[in-house]
Amino acid sequence: MIELESLDRKEAIRYLGGSGIKLNYRMDALMDECEKEILLKADPKYLYIEKELPCNGLIKGKDIEKHLYGCEKAVLMCATLGTEIDKIIRINQISDMARAVVLDSFASVAAEQLCNRVNEAIVEKYSDYYTTFRFSPGYGDYPIEMQNYFLQTLDAPRKIGLTSNSNYLLVPTKSVTAVIGLSKSPIERKRLGCAGCIARESCQFRRNGEHCGV
Amino acid sequence: MEFKDFINKKEFILLDGAMGTMIQKSGVKYDSVPEALNITHPKLIASFHKAYVDAGADVIYSNTFGANAYKLKDSGYSVKQVISAAINNAKNAVKGTDALIALDIGPIGQLLEPAGALSFDEAYEYYKEQIIAGKDADIIVFETMTDLYELKAAVLAAKENCSKPIITTMTFERSGRTFTGASAASAAVTLEGLGADALGVNCSLGPDELEPIVSEISKYTDLPIVIKPNAGLPDPNSNEYNILPDDFAKSVLTLLKYGVKIVGGCCGTTPEYIAKIKETLSGEKYHPQKKSVDTTICSASTAVEINGPRIIGERINPTGKKLFKQALVDKNIDYILTQALNQISGGAEILDVNVGHPEIDEKNMMVSVIKAIQSVCDAPLQIDSTKPEVLEAGLRYYNGKPIVNSVNGEEKSLRAVLPLVKKYGASVVGLTLDENGIPKTAEGRFKIAKRIVERAEAAGIDRKDVYIDCLTLTVSAEQDACRETLSALHRVKTELGCKTCLGVSNISFGLPNRELVNRTFLTMALEEGLDLPIINPNIASMTGAVRAYRVLAGIDKNSNEFISVYNNAAPQTAAADTLADMDIFTAIYNGLKKEGACLTEKLLNENADPMKIVNEMLIPALDKVGDGFEKNKIFLPQLIQSANAAQECFEVIKKHISQTSGSPVSKGKIILATVKGDIHDIGKNIVKVLLDNYGYTVVDLGRDVDPQLIVDTAVEQNIKMIGLSALMTTTLKSMEDTIKMVRERKELQNPDGSSKCVVFVGGAVLTKEYAMKIGADYYCKDAKESVDTAKKVLG
């Protein structure tokens, strides 16, 4: 089980496009309140499973092939904050939109932190391997349709209530699926970078000279 | 043998163990779904069934858990093919025995609205297809369900398409809730109401961890309880389960005291487990349980026991409310949701929902409003309409056990309403009036109450689910009527053993200081035994009277609730001195709602021109904030807070204008929608807040919106501007399709064929180039740009 104790506030502000803005006391108070609420309502759950490579059905497109190049194994993972988070964001969109966007931002941060923790656990478990970074459906040319492959392989709907809709969007929405490659020999730990990203033309981070972190 | 005979004749009914575990152990490979094995390996599947029958199972589950059209879509087989083959395999296995075949049905695999995008009706159709395909089974089983709403669709599909007995089991976590937040109590109350024949739990946990959940369920149902636990918890490394058959069977024994009658095993269990349970149960007795909590209504997450006065909020009702009526006409669901949330924060425990208005389609509106409210509120609902078809629509789409408001003593009403209450397992308010009107005397009303209760019981409805309303008449017109109402209420409570309900506010029509009269009457009625006062929970003294009564009557133990509500209550009004040196501009810039509203009111009282306030104060303040946002000096949440503060000022102005019956302030209507297939709508909602505040009327069609609805609404309401959002690359196609449809619709074209509608689009993955390519008129990178675009187009 993973419990999140605190959330990265700077990151939440960055998601809201507020890097470099001095927050007034009301905004500070709002950030505090929302961080607490997300920590209280999040129900972090995750799964991972090890697969020998080559693994039937996992490879679709060039980017995932590149990502797993030289790896003997891959670990498929998924993580979710649960439905309650979606619900409080929904409620706040009616009662207090400002709060809703801050909650949404902290929830994204929480999902990311949860993934990092799962990632750490995987790295620790496979300490005799070199590991790649997390690669998710939707990165580069890896089709978003692969969500269903991950969910099925991990038995995620039954085990942690994580599903997708007919457009392959994850439900609950604050959820992630990803694959990490394992190799006995060193891997060049390269990030995907903007060049391989489908959102590069519209990316707010990129526009402001920043990077999303993927 | 029939299932009902089974239930009666057998002390316990033994189900089978896991199919998945057998398949896994055999090492057989399958292509897409394990259900395909019914066709490719019929003998193997039959041999698994046979092993369970030999181990002593009275009922075996067909290998059809995921045999729905959604999960089979890439398998190359149809639902009918898979299910017929599966039932056939099961038949071959039970030949020559008494064992019955259950058509096993699991979740569809997509989440339903509101969390997901699958609609209730779509879910119903998936289940219907399976039930019809499984016509040769003896029993229908729904298992491993985590969403009560999905399960309701499933049970209705079974009830409406076959007459087989129905077993339902849900999967709970240690918290006592399912993944979607359904509580064990709500599941028991709702499913018993819908007519399940047995209910319980399966999967997720082992028998030991299930005890608190089984105990909770047993408090809320008289039905036989089913358990089909996992063989303990899986080891995270090996995926092996940790309880062996002996211990499993022993743990089952400890659960018998909760009324467990039907026992089997889920993940990790094998014929050995079933044989062991059979051996262990021989000589044991079934302990039938009567529910200990017997007057309950619920939402999916919250069960409310009527064990003392419970407040029903009356505000979702257009009667006498101009703004509410307008909201209905405009399909402004958010307005209604705000009313719902405000009442909950005021202290309402149940919400009455009435959307009757001659200018709208009440039935469709009832469904939309119920779906919307249950997506944000945990309070159970009371479905309020004079039209049976509206009641039925509300009952069908409600997630939980609601109250129906109402039936009365008229033959026509009894005949139309009671069967609906029974079918959907609701409670019902019984009004003590009939063909001859409202009897003047308590005796007359009591007689009608008695008739309603008798008729309800004849229709199969427990009298505990009938809440009698002895009707409040206006005391200024008939002073003695108050006594008659209270006396009838007292008799109903004591002689009929029913719960009682009363709309309180009617009492004071025509009198000054109505609040005082209402509160006094409420207190009198509570003392006579009123259980469900229908009041405005946002009037603090009314809610307070109920809470104080609960203390004084010894219901609120140790005054816990009272203290928690009132101990730290902060004064809610804006302090006069903070207002003294503030203007509207400052209030909006700083996002101070209450202050903004007070200041606006003050100006209006000083006879300021409302449009001048809008144009010279509100809009410039918003512009200043918007400008700061553009220059990266103001944080998005602050921009929204300012917009909300402006919204409060606008509300005050709107109210003022509607009272002085001027024309409403609107700069034009704009449709907003998140396109079909997309469920990420926060960006669209931010745009909405801003447009609202610049005085545009937003027709918000929500998320995952059908292009047809967008086009139809534009035509119907003659709308010239449409905003579409999409977050994912996969849903950009929907955006393109929607724009295409807008362009093609004749009514939305000028005589020369050009489009009358301006379409603006936005969303994370969109670019200006792409927006143009798919035929949009404008691309807006954020909410502020949407407002600029609206100004350009509509002025």
In which residue are the tokens 């909410």 written? B783
Distance CA B705, CA A90 (A): 17
Phi, psi of B8 (to 5 degrees): -75, -40
Residue of B nearest to A199 (CA): B765
Return the pLDDT at B563. Answer: 93
What pLDDT band is residue B663 in, cutting at 50, 70 and 90?
low
**Both tokens assigned to B174:** 């240690």
Given A26, A101, A157, which is nearest B682 (Cβ)? Answer: A101
* B538/B643 same-domain check: no
What pLDDT band is residue A204 in, cutting at 50, 70 and 90?
low
CB contact under 8 A, A26 and B376: no
Single out the residue of B229, B231, B218 nearest to residue B263, CA to CA. Answer: B229
Return the pLDDT at B711. Answer: 94
**DSSP secondary structure string for all residues of A38-84:** HHHH---EEEEEEEESS-TTT--SHHHHHHTTT-SEEEEEEEE--HH
Single out the residue of B645, B684, B690 nearest to residue B667, CA to CA. Answer: B690
Q: Among residues 161-180 of chain B, which lie with CB inside 8 Å of chain A? A: 171, 178-180
**DSSP secondary structure string for all residues of B587-598:** HHHTT-HHHHHH
Task: Residue A95: list chain B partners with CB under 8 A.
Answer: 338, 341
- Considering the domain boundaries, does residue A213 fall inside one? no
Query: Once rounded to an integer, what is the mean pLDDT over residues B404-426?
Result: 97
Given B116, B635, B731, which is nearest A16 (Cβ)? Answer: B635
Q: What value does the mean pLDDT of chain B take?
A: 92
* B650/B679 same-domain check: no
- Considering the domain boundaries, does residue A156 fall inside one? yes
> How far apart, in Å, are the Cα atoms of B31 and each of A57, A184, B21, B77, B110?
11, 31, 17, 12, 21
Q: Coil, strand, or helix at residue B795?
A: coil
Phi, psi of B125 (to 5 degrees): -65, -40
- Count CB neighbours of B284 within 10 A: 12
Return the pLDDT at A198. Answer: 62
**Both tokens assigned to B556:** 């609120």
> How far apart, in Å, are the Cα atoms of A140 and each of A27, B341, B713?
36, 42, 38
- Considering the domain boundaries, does residue A1 fall inside one? no
Return the pLDDT at B147. Answer: 96
Given B180, B337, B764, which is nearest A94 (Cβ)? Answer: B337
* B316/B235 same-domain check: no
CB contact under 8 A, B637 and A99: yes
- Judge whether B42 and B82 are in contact, CB under 8 Å: no
- Given a cut of 70, is residue B579 above it in pLDDT? no
- Considering the domain boundaries, does residue B65 fall inside one? yes
**DSSP secondary structure string for all residues of B20-82:** HHHHHHHT---SS-GGGHHHH-HHHHHHHHHHHHHHT-SEEE-S-TT-STTTTTTTT--HHHH
- Considering the domain boundaries, does residue B298 fall inside one? no
CATH at B633? 1.10.1240.10
- Cβ neighbours for B313, distance < 8 A, ≥ 6 positions apart: B340, B343, B344, B346, B348, B350, B351, B352, B379, B534, B535, B536, B537
* B560/B588 same-domain check: no
ipTM over 0.90: no
Return the pLDDT at B4. Answer: 74
Given A82, A100, A202, which is nearest B764 (Cβ)? Answer: A202
- Given a cut of 50, is residue B315 above it in pLDDT? yes
In which residue are the tokens 């649960």 written? A82
Task: Residue B632: list chain A partners with CB under 8 A.
Answer: 17, 20-21
- Judge whether B105 and B142 are in contact, CB under 8 Å: yes
**DSSP secondary structure string for all residues of B382-409:** EEE-S-HHHHHHHHHH-SEE-EEEEEES
- Judge whether B641 and B591 are in contact, CB under 8 Å: yes
Interface test with A, best of B33, B238, B635 (most A CBs within 10 A): B635
What pLDDT band is residue B559 in, cutting at 50, 70 and 90?
very high
* B409/B460 same-domain check: yes
CB contact under 8 A, B632 and A21: yes
- Considering the domain boundaries, does residue A197 fall inside one? yes
Q: Which residues pair with B228 in a beta bridge?
A: B202
pTM: 0.88
* B488/B607 same-domain check: no
Residue of B nearest to A102 (CA): B637
CATH at A126? 3.40.109.40
B697-700 and B669-674 as β-strands: parallel, antiparallel, unpaired?
parallel
- Cβ neighbours for B696, distance < 8 A, ≥ 6 positions apart: B666, B667, B668, B669, B670, B790, B794
- Considering the domain boundaries, does residue B296 fall inside one? no
Interface test with B, best of A89, A165, A212 (most B CBs within 10 A): A165
B427-431 and B403-408 as β-strands: parallel, antiparallel, unpaired?
parallel
Return the pLDDT at A21. Answer: 86
Residue of A nearest to B233 (CA): A159
Look at residues B565, B600, B630 and tell me which one is the last residue of a structural domain: B565
- Considering the domain boundaries, does residue B412 fall inside one? yes
> How far apart, in Å, are the Cα atoms of B529 and each of A182, B53, B539?
70, 55, 22
**Both tokens assigned to B767:** 């670019």
Task: Residue A100: list chain B partners with CB under 8 A.
Answer: 682, 685
Q: Does B647 touch chain A (CB under 8 A)?
A: no
Q: Which structural domain, as residue segments, surrounds residue B167? A: 3-281
- Count CB neighbours of A97 within 10 A: 24
Q: Does B119 touch chain A (CB under 8 A)?
A: no
* B435/B553 same-domain check: yes
In which residue are the tokens 């109903």 written? B492
* B447/B548 same-domain check: yes
Single-letter amino acid, residue B546: V
Query: Once rounded to an integer, what is the mean pLDDT over residues B354-358?
Result: 95
Residue of B nearest to A149 (CA): B32
Task: Residue A94: list chain B partners with CB under 8 A.
Answer: 334, 337-338, 341, 376
A188 min Cα distance to partner chain B (Å): 28
Q: Which structural domain, as residue segments, surrounds residue A32? A: 9-206
A137 min Cα distance to partner chain B (Å): 12
Q: Does B233 touch chain A (CB under 8 A)?
A: no
Distance CA B427, CA B795 (A): 51
* B153/B192 same-domain check: yes
* B645/B677 same-domain check: no
Look at residues B224, B246, B281 and tell me which one is the last residue of a structural domain: B281
Q: Among residues 567-596 of chain B, which lie with CB inside 8 Å of chain A? A: 590-591
A143 min Cα distance to partner chain B (Å): 10
Where does residue B781 rank: exposed (0-12), middle (13-18), buried (19+ CB within 10 A)? middle
* B210/B73 same-domain check: yes
CB contact under 8 A, B682 and A93: yes
For B32-82, the pLDDT digits (tens) are: 899 999 999 999 999 999 999 999 999 999 999 999 999 999 899 999 999
For A23-67, the pLDDT digits (tens) are: 888 889 999 999 999 999 999 999 999 999 888 889 999 889 989
CB contact under 8 A, B146 and A161: yes
- Given a cut of 60, is residue B571 above it in pLDDT? no
Task: Residue B770: list chain A partners with CB under 8 A.
Answer: 201
Pairwise pLDDT comparison (B560 vs A214), residue with the higher score? B560
Interface test with A, best of B144, B590, B682 (most A CBs within 10 A): B682
Distance CA B28, CA B45 (A): 10
Return the pLDDT at B724. Answer: 95
Look at residues B515, B538, B565 and tell me which one is the last residue of a structural domain: B565
Given B110, B337, B632, which is nearest A165 (Cβ)? Answer: B110
Interface test with B, best of A158, A159, A164, A203 (most B CBs within 10 A): A158
CB contact under 8 A, B636 and A18: yes
Given B180, B590, B766, which is nearest A202 (Cβ)? Answer: B766
CB pairs under 8 A between A and B: 142
Return the pLDDT at B574. Answer: 47
CB contact under 8 A, B682 and A172: no
* B7/B141 same-domain check: yes
Return the pLDDT at B582. Answer: 79
What is the spatial order of strands in the sheet that A130-131 belongs to?
A45-52, A73-80, A175-183, A130-131
- Given a cut of 80, is residue A117 above it in pLDDT? yes
- Please report, in angstroms and rounded to a whole number, the separation of the first and last CA atoms in chain B: 75
Residue of B nearest to A154 (CA): B239
Residue of A nearest to B146 (CA): A161
Distance CA B698, CA B760 (A): 14
Return the pLDDT at A199. Answer: 63
Task: Residue A89: list chain B partners with CB under 8 A.
Answer: 682
Q: Among residues 251-310 of chain B, which lie with CB inside 8 Å of chain A? A: none
- Considering the domain boundaries, does residue B301 fall inside one? no
Query: Once rounded to an integer, what is the mean pLDDT over residues B498-522?
Result: 95
The CB-based long-range contact list for B120-123 (8 Å cut-off, 24+ gap) reads B120/B149, B120/B152, B120/B153, B120/B371, B120/B396, B120/B397, B121/B153, B123/B149, B123/B150, B123/B153, B123/B154
Our count of domains for chain A comes to 1
- Given a cut of 90, is residue B11 above it in pLDDT? yes
A166 min Cα distance to partner chain B (Å): 7
- Considering the domain boundaries, does residue B67 fall inside one? yes
- Considering the domain boundaries, does residue A174 fall inside one? yes
Residues of chain B with pLDDT > 70, as a percent, come to: 97
Query: Once rounded to an integer, what is the mean pLDDT over residues B482-495?
Result: 96
Query: Once rounded to an integer, what is the mean pLDDT over residues B137-147?
Result: 97
- Considering the domain boundaries, does residue A116 fall inside one? yes
Single-letter amino acid, residue B687: V
- Judge whether B395 and B265 are in contact, CB under 8 Å: no
**Both tokens assigned to B740:** 């295409």
Return the pLDDT at A139. Answer: 86
- Considering the domain boundaries, does residue B311 fall inside one? yes
Question: Looking at residue B556, what DSSP letter applies?
Answer: S
Our count of domains for chain B comes to 4
Q: Which residues pair with B262 in a beta bridge?
A: B13, B226
Output b/e per residue, A41-72; b: 16+ Cβ within 10 A.
bbbbbbbbeebeeeeeebbeeeebeebbeebe
